[in-house]
Structure 1
Amino acid sequence: MSVQRLVMPPLIGWLLIALDTSADDGRNAPLTIESALAQRLINPDLPQSEIEAYTESHILPMPEVTTVGEWETYAKKVREDVLKKVVFRGEAAKWRTLPTKVEWQGEIEGGPGYRIRKLRYEVVPGMWTAGLLYEPEKLSGKVPVVMNVNGHDRPDGMAADYKQMRCINQAKRGMIALNLEWLGMGQLATPGFNHYSMNQVNLCGTSGLAPFYLAMSRGLDILLQHENADPARVAVAGLSGGGWQTIFISSLDTRVTLCNPVAGYSSFKTRARYQSDLGDSEQTPCDLASVTDYAQLTAMLAPRPALLTNNAEDNCCFKAEHALPPLLEAAQPIYKLYNKPTNLRYHINNDPGTHNFLVDNRQQLYGMLEEFFLGNLDKNAAKEIASEDELKTKDQLHVKLPEGNLDFNSLALQLSDGLSHSQPAGAGELSAWQTQQRPKLHDIVKLKAFHTLAIQQSQRNSENLSASFWWLRFGGDWTVPAVELSVPGSKSKKLAIVVADDRGSSLTGETQHLLNDGYRVLAIDPFYFGESKITKHDFLYAILVSSLGDRPIGIQAGQLQAAAKWAREEFGCEHVKLVAAGPRTSLISLVAAASGDQFETLQLRGSLGSLRELLEQNKGMDKVPESLCFGLLEQFDIPELVLLAGPDRVQFVDASDRCRTELQSVMKAYPKLSTNLFAQPTRAAGASGDE
C-alpha cells in the first residue's frame, strides 16, 4: 500500500466533480468543532458517480466464442458455478438433495373445460408455499406445461387477475398451467418474508437465494410429475419479479424449453447506470455478478425459443429502450451459432406501455405457445379467450399453509441456533489463534487493501482550534472526506480516527474530549456514511457491490485501515485510536481492528453485543447493508471479533446489557486483558474555539 500527498488533484475532471459548490456549507461560520465537522467537503453527487463507475467497470463481458462447442463448454461451466458458488451454499447444499414434498388440498370449479386444484409444497425444510394447478378436464397423451411465476404483487399474489387470465387461457388451450405464490407476496406477504430479509440467511453462511431457486425448481418438479406432462414442452413466464424468476430458472435449468420474461431484468452494466433497474436482494444475489451477467444468462437460453418482452414507457423498471438492446446484443450471435436466430424473439409493448402483463403482452406469449408447442401459426390463435367472468377472488383461491411456516427471518434464526464459534483455549493461545483466524475474516469480508492519495483541500485556524480539510482518495475509486482537528501548537503523537452512524452533537462532544486528552482527531465518512452516502438507491448499490464479489464492510474496513496508515506517515503518529459511535460503524470498526494491527486501541459506543441481534430485530439489507455480510456470523460473532482485535485493545462505552452478557466469556477467559473492556461514558464539555 503506497501513500501519496498532493496539493492539487491529478485529474481536473475528478476535481470538478469533487468540489462542492454550495454556498452555505459552514465555510464562513466561526470555527468551532461543530462547524468544522459540519463543513461539506465533497459534492453530494460524487459518491453516486463513483459507485456507478465502480460497479459498471466490474461487470463481466460476454466471452468471445466462434463455435457451438465453445459456447456450450462456457455455458455448462457458468451453470455449475452459479449453482455451486451462488445458489447452493451452506445448508442449501443439503436442501438441494431433498425430494419435492407436495400436498394436494382438493379442487374448485374453474370454468368451461378446466378445473383448479389447490396445493402446497415444501421449498426448504419448514418453509412451504402455495400453488394452483389449472388442469384441462379432458386430458389424453402428453401435453405442454407452463409454470406461471409472479412479481411484486403483495396484496393479490397468485390471485392477481392478469395472472389468472393467462393461466385460464393456457388451460383452455389444452395446457397444464401452474400458478405459484411467490415468497413475500400474496399469502406470504409478511415482514419475515421481506426480500431484504433474505440476507439474514446469508449472514449465517447459507444462501438466501436458495429458497427462491428451489421454489421454482420444485414447481417444475410438480409439473413434470404430472402423468400428462410433456417434458419436451415446458414453458415459464412472468412479469417483473416473475420476469426475473423466468430468466433465472430458464437459463440455469434446461428442463425449460420456452420462456417469456416480461420486464423483469437487465444486464448488470445497464443497472449501474439506470437506478430504476437496481434489483432486490434475490435479483442481485451475493457473488452472482462475479460469475456471470444477465446478458450471458440470456444467451444461455439458446437455442430454445424465448420471447423477451419489455414495455416502451415502463413506469417501474427495465424500460425497453435501455434494458433490451444489451440482452439482444449478447444473445443474438449465440442463437445464430445454433442456426436458430428466429427462436429468439422480442416484443416492445406500447398498449399501455407501462409495467404490465396485460392483454397485448399475454397474446404475444400465447402466440409463442401456439407456434412452438402446438404448431399453430394462425395469428388468430394467439388472441386471448375472453374469461373475465371466470376470475376468482383471493379467498376462493386461498391455500392453507402449515402453522409456524418458516420465513427468511425465522429460517435465519434457526440456522443461527446451530452455529458455534472457535475461540482460543486461553491467553497463551490467543496470538496463534489470531494468526490463524484473521485470513478467514479477510476472506469473508473481502478486505480491501487501498493505496491512499491525500489531498489537502483547505485549512482554518483560530486561537483554540486548528482544522485541516482533506480528500482521501482510496484505490482510485472512492473519495472520503476527512476533517483533521488539533489544538494549535500541539505536537502530540496520538491520533484518534472518529466515525459515526450519524454525525451529531455526541460526536462534537467526543471530539472535544479527545482534544482535551491530547489527541489529534481525524473525523472521516467512510463509504456509505455522512457525505459519502449515495444519494439515490443507496442500499441497492450496496447489494450490487456484494454481487460483484466485494463486500461493503470490506471496503469500509479497508478505508479505515488505509486512513490509519496514511495518518501515521503524515503526522508521525505513534498511537492511533479508532472511535466509533453507533451499531453500524462500531461493527465496521471492530472488523477493521480485528483484521490487522493499525489501531492500538478501539472505543465503541452503541455496539451490538451479537450479530444475532440483527436477526432478532429482523433487520434487512435496506437498513444495515454492510452488516449482513455473507458468512460473517457463521464464523465470527462480536466476542470473536473482540478476541481478534485484542481484548486489551477494545473498550465498549455505555454498553448495553446484551453486550455485557455476550462478552462475559471473554472477561472470564482473559481477566487480565479485559479489565478495561467496559467503561461509562465521559461527559465532555461543549465545543469551543471561535475564529
Structure 2
Amino acid sequence: MDIQHIIKSVNVDTDGLRSAVHQLIHKSVVAFNPSNWKPEEANKLRKTILDQIVFQGTPPNWRTFPTKDETIDCIETGHGYQIEKLRLEILPDFWIPALLYQPHLPKLHKPRPAVLSVNGHVGPLGKSIEFVQRRCINLAKRGITTLHLEWLSFGELTDPNYTHNRLAYLDLCGVSGLSVFYLAMRGGLDFLWEHPFVIKEKIAMTGLSGGGWQTIFLSALDQRITVAIPNAGYIDISNRLTHASDIGDLEQNPNDLLTLADYTHLTALLSPRPALLIYNHQDDCCFVADRAKPAIYDLVKSIYPTPNNFVFYKNISPGTHNYDEDNRKQLYYFLCKHFDLPMIQDGDLELESEVLSFEDLVVGLPDKTANFKTIANKIMHQKKLEASQLPSKLQHILRYQSTSVSQVELTHQKGKGGQLIFDNGLLAAFCQFRPEGNTRDNDTIILIADQGFMSMVTEIENHLNMGNSVLAVELFLTGQVIPTGISVSHTSMLLSTSGLRALGFQVAQLVSILHWYRYVYKSEELILESKGRVTGIIAQLAKQLYSGPLENNMAKDQLSSLQDLINKEIEYEQCPTLFCFDLLRYMSSKSSTG
C-alpha cells in the first residue's frame, strides 16, 4: 500500500476554512453602532472591561497595588531641562525603568502639563531610540513634563521572559496576562498623577505602534488621561481578519475582549476628551491610514459632542510607520491647543547634540526582578489546591461547543482520504487505511499528530503490519488544516479574543469524529493514539468528554505536564492552542497528563 500517495491525495479547502473561522468570529464579537452608543453607559463598560478582561483571575491585591518609585540619578543637560532616571514597581519585584524629562524654564518647581510617553516595538534601543528622545526633549522645551516608560521586551527589559506572548504563561494559570501590561502603563500614570508639579487636569498620552495600542487602551479605561494621541496603534477586528500584519501580539488580542468591546468601542470611550488619531498613508508595518479611517474614525466621530476635539491625521511624509517630524508637529500643535500653551514653532527644535546614547540613559534594575515566568510559577503554587475536576468546568474553560460531521468530501480516487466538514463550518482531513488481505476484526486506531499525516507514516505502517485499521486525522490547526493567509498562533489568539477557544474546537472535532466513526463503521471500541504536545492534550481532554468506549490512549512526544509549557519556556507560537485560559488548574487536578 502506497501510504504516502494516499496522504498526498488529500486536499483541504483552506480558503473555505478561513471563511468559516471568520464567520465564527463575526458571530461572537460585538459590533460598534454609533446610533446605539449611550455615553451614560461608558463608565459601566469601562468597569466591565477592567473586571472581566484586564483583571480577570488576578489576585485582589494586584488591582490596588500602589505604584512605588525610586529615583536613581538625574542628568542635568544644560539645555533647559533635566532627565531623571526612575524605576517604577508595578507589582512586587516587577520594575519598569523610566525617564522623566522636566522643563527648567522659567523655573523647575512649577505645576505643568504632562505627557505619558510610551514605546512600541522599537528593538533593543528601547527608550533611547532617537525619535522618542526627540519627542520628549521637544515637549520638555515647550514646558511639558514628560515621563517615558521602557516597554516589556525592549531596552533594559530584554530578558526572554518579558517577551510579550509569554503573558500566555499567566493566561494558562487563569490570571490575565494583559494585567501586567496594564499595570505597567497605569504605574506611569499614577506617578504623574501624584507628582506635585503636574497639573492633574492636563495629562496626555502618546506613542507609536505598540505605544499607540498602549495609548488607546489606557486612555479609554482611565479618564485621568485628558488628551489621547495614539499613532498607528490599532484597528478593528474586520481589518485584523483580512490583514495579518494588523493582528499584533497577545496583549493586543486579550481573551474575550471582543465579546464586550472592539477597538472602535475603546475609541468611543475617549469621548468627550480631545483625541488625535494619527495614521500613516503607506504604513509598512500595520494599520494603513485609508483602512483605519473608515473603520475607526468615521464610525466614532458622530458621537463626539465637540467635533473639533476628535481629529484624524494621515501622515504623507514619509507616510511609513513613523513618529518623525511631521507627526511630532501634529502632536505639539494638538497639545499646545488643548493645554493652552503658546506655540514655540511648528516643527522640531534643533537638538542634534542632545540625543544621548543607550548607555547614557540606562536606569538599572534590582538584582531580584519578577517576570512572566516567575509570576506564573508563583501562581501555579498558590492555585494548585483550587483546581476543579468537574467536566462542566472543563467545558467552560474550553468554551466547548459540541459539533458533528455534516459532510464527507473524498479527494482520493478510491475513497481513502478527504476532508470532514463539521456543522460549524470547520474542517478536518482524514486518511483511512485497512490491512491488505486481513478480514479479521482487529483494532481500529484513531491517529492524530501535531505535524499531520507525513509525521504519522511510521505509525501507520506499524499498525497495518499488526493487522489494525487506521483512521489518520489532521484536526483543525494541525498538519495542513490551517486557514489560508494566517498562522496557527494568530488564528488561535483571534478566536480567544472573540470569546472562543481553538482548543475547544479541536477537542470537539475529535469527540465528533469518534462518534461518527463508531456509528458509520459499527466499531464498538476504538483506540486513540496521539503524537505531539498539542494532540496529546487534545486526546486526554476528548477522552473526558467522549461518551463511548475508548481504550487508554497511546501518546508519543507528549508533555509530562502542562507546567512544562512554563518550566521549559515553550513559546506561545509553538503550541498556541494549549495556552487556553485557566486550563492548567484543571489539568493539575489530574494525577498527570499521561
- After TM superposition, give the deviation of residue 90 of structure 1 in Å: 2.4
Q: Please list, as runs of the form range in 1=range in 2, the aligned pairs for 1:401-420 lying within 5 A after superposition.
A: 401-420=365-384
Question: 1:151, 1:240 within 8 Å by CA — same for their partners in 2?
Answer: yes
Partner of 1:589: 539
CA displacement 1:444-500 (0-9 Å, x = unmatched): 121221132122414555xxxxx5223211233212111122246747485322110
Q: Please list, as runs of the form range in 1=range in 2, the aligned pairs for 1:564-643 lying within 5 A after superposition.
A: 564-598=514-548, 600-601=550-551, 602-637=553-588, 639-640=590-591
- After TM superposition, give the deviation of residue 245 of structure 1 in Å: 0.2
Q: Relative to structure 1, is the Cα distance of residues 454 and 641 closer, same or farther in structure 2, using a 3 angstrom cutoff? A: farther
**CA distance in structure 2 between the aligned counterparts of 1:223 and 1:47, rounded to whole angstroms:** 48
Partner of 1:444: 397
Question: Partner amino acid for 1:520?
Answer: S
Question: 1:480, 1:527 within 8 Å by CA — same for their partners in 2?
Answer: yes
Partner of 1:682: none
- After TM superposition, give the deviation of residue 624 of structure 1 in Å: 1.3
Question: Partner amino acid for 2:407?
Answer: A
**CA distance in structure 2 between the aligned counterparts of 1:422 and 1:205, rounded to whole angstroms:** 11
**CA distance in structure 1 between the aligned counterparts of 2:60 and 2:125, rounded to whole angstroms:** 32
TM-score by length of 1: 0.81
CA displacement 1:648-686 (0-9 Å, x = unmatched): xxxx6xxxxxxxxxxxxxxxxxxxxxxxxxxxxxxxxxx
Give the number of equivalent residue pairs: 589
Q: Relative to structure 1, is the Cα distance of residues 277 and 56 closer, same or farther in structure 2, using a 3 angstrom cutoff? A: farther
Question: 2:66, 2:90 within 8 Å by CA — same for their partners in 1?
Answer: no
Question: Partner amino acid for 2:430?
Answer: A
Q: Please list, as runs of the form range in 1=range in 2, the aligned pairs for 1:363-402 lying within 5 A after superposition.
A: 363-374=329-340, 376=342, 381-402=345-366
Partner of 2:450: 501
Question: 1:52, 1:273 within 8 Å by CA — same for their partners in 2?
Answer: no
**CA distance in structure 2 between the aligned counterparts of 1:334 and 1:559, rounded to whole angstroms:** 43
Q: Which 5+ residue runs of structure 1 have no aligned equivalent?
A: 1-30, 424-432, 462-466, 643-651, 653-691
1:133 aligns with 2:100: yes
CA displacement 1:403-453 (0-9 Å, x = unmatched): 131121222122223232478xxxxxxxxx96xx11111111212211321
Deviation larger for 36-45 or 587-596: 36-45
1:210 aligns with 2:179: yes
Question: Partner amino acid for 1:419?
Answer: K
Deviation larger for 597-606 or 218-227: 597-606
Question: 1:201, 1:408 within 8 Å by CA — same for their partners in 2?
Answer: yes
**CA distance in structure 2 between the aligned counterparts of 1:270 and 1:460, rounded to whole angstroms:** 39
Secondary structure, counterpart of 2:331 in structure 1: helix
Question: 1:480, 1:525 within 8 Å by CA — same for their partners in 2?
Answer: yes
Q: Give the percent of matched residue pairs that are identical in Structure 1 and Structure 2.
A: 34
- After TM superposition, give the deviation of residue 638 of structure 1 in Å: 7.8
Question: 1:498, 1:524 within 8 Å by CA — same for their partners in 2?
Answer: yes
1:550 aligns with 2:500: yes
Q: 1:454 aligns with which of 401, 407, 432?
A: 407
**CA distance in structure 1 between the aligned counterparts of 2:544 and 2:293, rounded to whole angstroms:** 45
- After TM superposition, give the deviation of residue 505 of structure 1 in Å: 6.4
Q: Which has the larger radius of gyration?
A: 1
- After TM superposition, give the deviation of residue 281 of structure 1 in Å: 0.8
CA displacement 1:41-71 (0-9 Å, x = unmatched): 224544444434433443311145467xx33
Partner of 1:316: 285
Partner of 1:525: 474
CA displacement 1:340-367 (0-9 Å, x = unmatched): 1111001111111111000000110001
Question: 1:484, 1:523 within 8 Å by CA — same for their partners in 2?
Answer: yes
Q: Relative to structure 1, is the Cα distance of residues 62 and 640 closer, same or farther in structure 2, using a 3 angstrom cutoff? A: farther
Q: 2:460 aligns with which of 505, 511, 533?
A: 511
Question: Partner amino acid for 1:445?
Answer: L
Question: 2:386, 2:585 within 8 Å by CA — same for their partners in 1?
Answer: no
**CA distance in structure 1 between the aligned counterparts of 2:55 and 2:474, rounded to whole angstroms:** 36
Q: 2:328 aligns with which of 357, 362, 366?
A: 362
1:539 aligns with 2:489: yes
**CA distance in structure 1 between the aligned counterparts of 2:372 and 2:481, rounded to whole angstroms:** 31
**CA distance in structure 2 between the aligned counterparts of 1:88 and 1:94, rounded to whole angstroms:** 11
CA displacement 1:250-297 (0-9 Å, x = unmatched): 001011110111011101121111111011011111111122100111
CA displacement 1:506-543 (0-9 Å, x = unmatched): 62232233345554322111111112024533311211
Secondary structure, counterpart of 1:530 in structure 2: coil
Partner of 2:2: 32
Q: Which 5+ residue runs of structure 2 have no aligned equivalent?
A: none
1:262 aligns with 2:231: yes
Partner of 1:10: none
Question: Partner amino acid for 2:275?
Answer: A
TM-score by length of 2: 0.94
Q: 1:276 aligns with which of 245, 248, 266?
A: 245
1:344 aligns with 2:310: yes
Question: 1:370, 1:381 within 8 Å by CA — same for their partners in 2?
Answer: no
Partner of 1:183: 152
Question: 1:578, 1:599 within 8 Å by CA — same for their partners in 2?
Answer: no
- After TM superposition, give the deviation of residue 600 of structure 1 in Å: 0.9
Q: Relative to structure 1, is the Cα distance of residues 584 and 66 closer, same or farther in structure 2, using a 3 angstrom cutoff? A: closer
**CA distance in structure 2 between the aligned counterparts of 1:241 and 1:126, rounded to whole angstroms:** 24
Q: 1:173 aligns with which of 129, 133, 142?
A: 142
Partner of 1:25: none
Secondary structure, counterpart of 2:569 in structure 1: coil
Question: 1:200, 1:620 within 8 Å by CA — same for their partners in 2?
Answer: no
Question: Partner amino acid for 1:571?
Answer: Y
Question: Partner amino acid for 2:525?
Answer: H
CA displacement 1:143-187 (0-9 Å, x = unmatched): 211000010112111111111111111111111100110111110
Partner of 1:327: 296
**CA distance in structure 1 between the aligned counterparts of 2:588 and 2:503, rounded to whole angstroms:** 15
CA displacement 1:122-159 (0-9 Å, x = unmatched): 12112111001011121455321100001011211111
Q: Relative to structure 1, is the Cα distance of residues 422 and 368 closer, same or farther in structure 2, using a 3 angstrom cutoff? A: closer
CA displacement 1:524-569 (0-9 Å, x = unmatched): 1111111202453331121111111111111100110111111122
Secondary structure, counterpart of 2:576 in structure 1: coil
Q: Relative to structure 1, is the Cα distance of residues 111 and 566 closer, same or farther in structure 2, using a 3 angstrom cutoff? A: farther
Question: Partner amino acid for 1:71?
Answer: P
Question: 2:445, 2:471 within 8 Å by CA — same for their partners in 1?
Answer: yes
Partner of 2:52: 85
**CA distance in structure 1 between the aligned counterparts of 2:274 and 2:23, rounded to whole angstroms:** 35
**CA distance in structure 2 between the aligned counterparts of 1:329 and 1:511, rounded to whole angstroms:** 56
Question: 1:92, 1:207 within 8 Å by CA — same for their partners in 2?
Answer: no
- After TM superposition, give the deviation of residue 503 of structure 1 in Å: 3.6
